[in-house]
Amino acid sequence: MDWFLNDYHRTEQYMLERCIEHQDNPYQLHFDFNKLIKLYYKFKSEHPDAIQKLITVCEKDIQSIESFIFAYRKEHPHYPFLPLIPSFKCLSIVYEKSGLFSDAIKVCEKAIALNLDDGTKGGYPIRLEKLRNRLAKTNMLKG
């Protein structure tokens, strides 16, 4: 699969078919979503529709994340930690770059409530603090 993640349309079609195939399997569906997130993020500058598709896939993954967590823990009962779940970090970054600080804050709050890690030194709590500061600063400038 040399074409994978290098051919936008072919990879997208393949992954969308896999999402349909795995729609009743939250464990596998999450990993399919991850591949789509990676694809859309990689091509966000070259394909105007990629950012909106990225947002949609992240939102879908987040909506079904509790089912994934349940399935993951069932599949890996001896693993004390969850894998990184990129949809939260990616969506919060996209919202932040779009100036949608309140939306980014909600994503971080949900990640914290689920006890997730984003792979950075301070994790979601530091990300949340920075977003709240940016929102406050923006509101000060407006008012």
Instruction: Output the pLDDT for position 143.
Output: 65
Q: Could you tell me if 105 and 128 are in contact, meaning their C-beta atoms sit under 8 angstroms apart? A: yes
Q: How many CB atoms lie within 10 A of CB 98?
A: 12
What is the rounded distance in angstroms from the CA atom of residue 55 to the CA atom of residue 58? 5
| Residue carrying the six token digits 């939250």 | 26
81: left (phi over 0), alpha (psi -120 to 50) or beta: beta
Give the pLDDT band (50/70/90) at residue 5.
Answer: low
Average pLDDT, the chain: 93
Report whether pLDDT(47) > 60: yes
Could you tell me what percent of the chain has a pLDDT over 90?
A: 87
Name the pTM for this structure: 0.91
- Dig out the tokens for 52 from the structure: 């909106």
Report whether pLDDT(94) > 60: yes
Helix 50-63 crosses helix 65-75 at what angle (to 10 degrees)?
60
What is the rounded distance in angstroms from the CA atom of residue 73 to the CA atom of residue 118? 19
Q: Which residues are CB-contacts of 133 (< 8 A; sequence separation ≥ 6)?
A: none
